[in-house]
Structure 1
Amino acid sequence: MRRYLLALGAWAALGVLAGACGRTSLPDLSGASAGGGGFGGATSGSMSTSSSGGGGVGGFDACGAPTDCDDGDDCTSDDCTDGRCDHRPRDDDRDGVGPTSCGGSDCNDLNPSVFPGAPEICTDAADNDCNGVSDCFDPACATGEICGCTPSPAGERCQNGVDDDCDTIVDCFDADCSGTPACGCSTSEAGKCGNGVDDDCDLAFDCDDADCASEPLCACSSQRERCDNREDDDCDLLVDCGDPDCRGIFPCACEPPGSPERCEDGVDNDCDGRVDCADPQCISAPACKRCVPEVCDDGVDNNCDERVDCADSACAFAPNCEPTPERCNNRVDDDGDALVDCQDPDCASSPVCVIEQANCLSPKRIPGTGTYTGDTTGHVSETRGECGGDAGEAVFFFVLTAPSRVHLDSRGSGFDTALYVRTGVCNSGREIGCDDDSGGAQASLLDFSILYPGTYFVFLDGFTIDPASGPNEGPFVLNVEIAPNPREICDDDLDNDGDHYVDCADPGCATFGPCRSCAKGAAPGPEFGTAACTDGIDNDCDGALDCADEDCSASDVYVTECCNGLDENGNGFPDDFNCRCASDADCDGGQLCYTHTTFTCGFPCESFRGSICPFVAPGSHCNDATHQCEF
C-alpha cells in the first residue's frame, strides 16, 4: 500500500505526455503562472512609490539622494531621479533578468553574461546558461576544442588559450603555470597582496608570501579571531560569533535546544548563532542600549550585529561601500554579493582557489589511480553527506570514459573524515555513496564495484565540529584506484564489467556451469523488454521471473507498474520506466533507453509537460538533443 500511494503521489505531481501521446488528464509541471511576464510579481519599467498625503511632488516621494528612497524591499532597486524616488525590479547586472531570490531566473545577478538562455562560455568558470553546470561540465562545451580534449603529456602550455591538461582551467589561471615565464612574474609580491595572483611566481599567494608580511592587510589578517572581545581581530569585518572562524568554538558553540538568550554573558545561549546584543531577542535589553546606528568607515561594530562597516547591510548605500571586483583571498566581500573569496563564483579560476579546492566552484581533477593530498584547515562547510560532513571539505572530480571499478579512501588523513560521492551536478547531484569510518582509525572508505561513464564529484569532508576542540580539519590524504573495464564475475549478482548484463545474462558467462540449463533449457539472457517479462521463464537465472524480477519492475517511483505493455496505474501509457534495457532495441512502443541515467525504457523526456527527470533520476535534467535525462 505504501508503494502504491507513493506512485499515485508522484503522478499527481507529474505532467502527462504532450503531443503525440495525446493525454491531458494530469496537471502541468511547467511552473508557469497566470500572472504574465516579469519576475517576483513585478512588471518591467518604472515603479515609483506614490504617497497618499503630503511630502511629495505630483504624487511622488521627494528625495535628495538614493538613501532617501530605501523602501525596505530587497527586490527593488531604489534610486533618486530628478528629485523623486524610482523603484524598479532588481536587476543588478542589467541583463534583463531578475535574481532567483526575487522570483526571477538569473542564477548570478552580478554577472551580465549569466542568465537562462545565455551561451555557455567554456572557460570563465561561470554557469552562463543557468543549467546548474559550468564550463566543461556543461554538455554545450563537451565537444569543443577546450573541453573535448585528451590530456597532453606535457601538461598545461600556459599561453595558447587551450586547456591542455583537461582540468577545465586554462593557461595562467591553472596552478600548474605558477612560476612560469609565460605568466609574467614580478620581482616581489609586495604592493599586490590581495589580488589572488602569485605575482612573483614563487608559489606563495598574497598574504601567504613573505613579501607581504609587513603590509597592514596581511599583518592583521594573519591574526586569529578572538571570539569573546567584541573586536574584529583578523580584519575581515566580522566580529566574534559573526565570524566563521568562531563557528563551533566557545562561546559561540551551543548544545541544542539551549536556553533563552541572556544579553550580557557573551554566550550564545539559545543556539541561534547570535550572541547577546546581536541576537534579535536582546533588541530592547538594557545591556544593549550602548548599541547605536552603524558608522560605515570607523572599523567599529557600532550597532552590535557582529558586522563591521561595509560588511553590515546597514552600510549598503554608503559611498565608501560601493561594490568592487572580488579580490580572492582578503577575507572580505568586495563586490557585496554575500560571497567571500573562494566562495564567490568570480574567484573560481583564481589560482589560490584552484589550489584550495574548497568547494564546487574549483574542484580538483583526479586523472586516475593515485594519492592526492592537501589541507582543509580554514575551509568553510558548504556541503554535507548523508553520513556526516559538518566541517570544511576538499572537492575533487573524475571523468570516466569506460565502465570502471572505483576505490576511494582517506587513510593517512589527520582528522576524522567523511567521504561521499555525487554524480551529475556537484553541489546538488545524486549522492551515490557516503562513509564515515569504514577505513579504520577515523578514515573513510568507499568501494564501487562498477561506475558507468560520466562525471563524478568526490568530497573529502570533516566529519563534525566539536564544541570544545573545533572542526575536524587539517592535512588530508585521498587514495584512489580506478580500474577500467573489469571482467564479469558470474555468480555475485553484480554487473562487474559495466555492460548492464548481470551474471548469467552476460554473454561472458554463457559457459559458466550454473548458467547452462537454468532457463528451462534455453540459453540464458537478459530479462529485458515486455516479451522476456511475460514469458513465464527466469531468463537471466537470478531466481525471479517476470514481474517479480527487478529488471521488470525497475522504477523506484512508479511501483504499481510492471514491464508488460499494460497501463496498470491508468495514467495513459504503459510501463513507466519499469523495463530495464541496455539499448533502444530493448524498448517497445516508441520508447527509448535512458542510457545516460537509469537504463530503463521511457518516452522522450521533452514529451512531458514539466520535468520528468526529477522522478526518473533525481538530480538530472532533460537534454533536448538526446531526448533523455542526463546528469
Structure 2
Amino acid sequence: MGGEGGAPPPACSDGVDNDQDGQIDHPADPGCESPEDDDETDPPMMNQCADGLDNDGDGAVDLADSDCVNGLDPTEDGQDAVTACSNGLDDDQDGITDFPMDPGCGAAGDDDEADPAAPRACGNGMDDDGDGAIDFPNDPGCQGVGDPDETDPAVLPACGNGIDDDGDGATDYPADSGCTSAADPAEASSCPAGVEVIDLNAHLADNESWEGSTEGGSAALQGSCGGGAGPERVFAYRVSRELRRIAFRTDNEFTAVPTVVYIKNDCEVAEDLACNRGAGETPGTVARLDEPAQGLYYVVVDTGSRVVGPGNFRLTVEETAAPHCRDGVDNDGDGLLDLADPGCVSPDDEDEADPEAVPECADGIDNDQDGAIDYPADMDCTAAGVDRERPLCGIDFPNVVEVGQDGAQLVVDLEEGMSLAEPSCVFLETGTEYVVQLTLDDPSDVAYELSVEGPPDGIPPTVAMYLRSDCADANSEMACTSAAGAGTLRGLEAGTYFLFVDAAGIVPPGTAINLTLAPSSNVRQCNDGLDNDDDGVIDLADPGCEQGMDNNEADPLMPPACADGVDNDGDGAIDWPADAECRAAGDLDERLSCEATDDVIAVGMDGGAFDYDTADGRQGLFGSTCAGGAGSPEQVFELTLTGPARVVAEITAFAGDSALHMRTVCDDADAQVACDDDGGDGLLSRLSFNRLEAGRYFFFADGFGANRAGAGTIEFTVEALEVPECMDEADNDGDGLVDAADPGCETPFDATEADPAAPPACADMVDNDDDGLIDFPNDPGCHAAGGPIETDHCAAGLPLIEVGQAGGDFPFRSGDGGNLTRGSCGVGDGLEQVFAVTLDDPSNVTVTVTDEAGAPAPTVMYMRADCDDAAGEAACSTNGTLRGRQLDRGTWYVFIERGRDVAAPAGDWTATFAIESLITQC
C-alpha cells in the first residue's frame, strides 16, 4: 500500500484494525479523525447522546433522538417519547416548532419549548467556539438552534469535516445536498442508488430557473398524485430561513409536456409533502408548502403522461418570506430579533419597527408588581411589543383556564366563594365563577356544550354561561344563556374572549358540570388574503370564488358569468365588482339568485348551523306542495355545491310547526325537488339527499300553513362525495384526453376513464348516423367521446340504450350522480338511464327492473314521447312496474333511476321490456 521504498500508510487508512476494536480505518473507527490520522486508538467512551452515532437504530442521532434530553444522557434507548420538542406542535406559540429549529429546545427529548431569556450558544449569532462557523446549521458543534454548546466534537461529523465523504464532488454543508446541517453525521443522499440529485440552490444562485428535460432522468420515484409514467428529475433544495410559503413551479411557456411535481423530505420514503400534476392543455403545475421548516427538501419533476412521454420543462422557485416578527432577522436594526423586539406584538406581526411609546413588556419596569419584568420574564408578556404586563382579566377570579383555537373539554369546578360577576340573562347573586380565556387565532364559530348532571339525590343547580370581550366589563357581554345545553357562538373575530360559567348558590356535592368548546375557523381560500391558485387575483376577485366562504380558488374551465366580460343580465353593469348582483368574480349568475328577495343566506360545502328569525314583519313569498301550502314567512338558504355531495338539511329548533322545501331555481315553483313537514324531531322538518350534483340549491325554512313565524335554527350537513374520473378535469388513464373528450367516458358520472377495447361510435372517426358530422364534439348526438351511438336523442347527455320492437332484457349500471330529469310521480336519487324504445307498430309496453339478486329494484320510472320535454310524459311509476298503453309508432324514451332515500348502492340491474303489438290480422 505504501509502494516499494515508500512510507507506510497512516493507521487510519491502512486496512488494518490497529487498535483491535473491531473497526477499521476512517470513518468506521471512532479513533480516526480523518484518513490521514496515524492513530486508531479510540477516545474515552462518550455518552450515547453525544457520540455521533444512531445507537438505537431509530434513524435519529444524539440530540435529534427524542430519548435524549441533553448531551449528558447516557443512552439513546427508549420508547421514542413524544415531547414538547418532538410533537409537531408549536407549544410556546412563537411561530417555530420543535427541535432543531425552536430556540427553546435543547434536544428532541426536551419537554419544554419555552424560549430562554437569552439565546443559547447555537442561536445567539456569535462564534462561541472560535472555529469560524456561527450557530446552527453552520457550526459542526450545533445540532439545533437551542443547543447550549457550540464546541465541535473531537471527531468532526461528515458534513463538517472538510472531506467529500460520499465522493459526489460536493463537500460538507451546505454544498452537499445530503447534509441537513454541518452537524449531520452522513453526507449521503437519501435517494435510491443511481438517482442523480441536482443541487437547485447552487443552480439558482446564478440562474432564474432550471431548464431541461425529464428525458434521460431516473425512473425510480412516484408521487401521491401521479408520476411513474416515465423518467423524472430530482432536485435538492434547502430552505435556510423562516418562510410563510414556498412554491415549486413548472407552469410556464417553456414546459411542453404534462409534468407532475412533488416534494419530499426523504427521497426514499413513499409519502410526499405536496403533489400536483399538469394535463394536456396545461402541462405545467405548481406544488406548494405552507410554513415549511428550515431544512433539506427533495423536489421531483416527473413525467405526467405515458402517451405524451417525457420532455422539456422549466422549474422555478418562489419563496414568500415569513412575517418580520418570526423571520430570524433584525429588520429594524435595533439589535433585537422577532418577539424580543418592542415592535413585535405576535409572531405574525409584519413590522418590527418600534412604536413611539415603549410598550410595558419592554420598558424595564415591573408594571404589575409581580416581581417579573418584561418579556420573556413576565409570563403575561407574550412578546416585547405587548403593552400590558398584567393578566388579561383585571378581576382576580380563582378559576381561569386558557383555551385556544383547538378548543378543549373541561371539567368545571365551581368553588364556594364570593360572586365577582353577574350575567344579564338570569339573576345569580352567589357563587364563584369559572372563567375560560378563549383566544381565537382566526375568525371562527365556536360550538359549545354545557352539561350538568346530579347531584344523585337532589336538584341540579341553576347554571348560566355568558361571553364577554372584556373580562372585567359587564357591558362587553356578547351572549348569555341561562340553561345547560348545546349551541354555537357565531361570527367571532380573531382575538381574546372570556366565557363565564356561573351557578346560583353552592353547587351540591356529586354535581358534574362539563363544558366542551370546539372552535371552527371561518378562514377559507376565498377570504384568506392569499393567491392560492397563483393566477394573480385574490379572494373575491378570483374567478374560482363564488363567495367568501368558498374554500377553493381554483378557476373553472369556463369563465363564470361574473368574470366573463359580458353583461349577462343586461343591466348595464359587467362582472364583479361593477355588477352589484355578483357576490364575487366566481358567481355563476349576474342576476340576483332570488328575484323576490335579497335576504338569502349562503351555505357552502362546509355546511353548518344557521340561526334565523322570520317573525320580523316579512311576508310569505314562496309556497310549496306540502305543509298546508307552506305560505308562512320563510328564510331562504342558497346551498352552493362545488362537487357531488350527500346533503341533509334539518330544522333543529323552531317556535312552532315548521316546513322545509327545496328548489333548484329560487323563483320557479315548478323547480321544487322536495318538501317536508314533520320529518324531523316532533313538528320539525328534515330533508335528506343521498346525492346532489355540483350547482345551486335553494332551501326554504318555512312554517305550516300561512301564519307560522318565529326564531329557528337550521343545520346543513354536507358530505363531499368522490368526483368521478369523467368530471375531475384530470387525465386519469394517461392517454392525453380528459373527461368528455376521453373515449372511456360516456357520461360525466362514469367512474373511470379507461378506454374500451373498441372505439365507441362517438370516437371511431366514422359518421355512423350519416348526418355529415363525425364524433364528439362535432356530432350533436354525441355528448361525450364514449357515447355508444351518434344518433341525436337527449340533450341532457344521459346514457342511452336502444330497444327495438322485440323488447327483451337489457343490463345496465345503476349509478350515482345525475338527477338531471324527473318524473311527475317523484324524483329519483341517481343517474338516469334512458332507453330509446323504437316501436314499429302501435304497442303496449311494460317495463320491470330487477337488481343483481333478481329481486325487484327500488326505482322511479317514467316515459316520454320527447326525451327533453317533460310535458310529453306518457306514464310514471314508483311501484316497480311502468306501463305504457296504446303507444303510437315511433321512438319513446323510458327513464329509470334509483328511488330516493333507499339503501340501494350503485349496482348492475336489468330492465325487462315486454312489448305487445296492437296490430292483428283483423
Provide TM-score, normalisation by structure 2: 0.19
Bigger-Rg structure (1/2): 2
Query: Of the two structures, which has the highest relative contact order with CA contacts closer than 8 Å and spacing of 6 or more?
Result: 1
Provide TM-score, normalisation by structure 1: 0.27
Q: Which structure: greater helix fraction?
A: 1
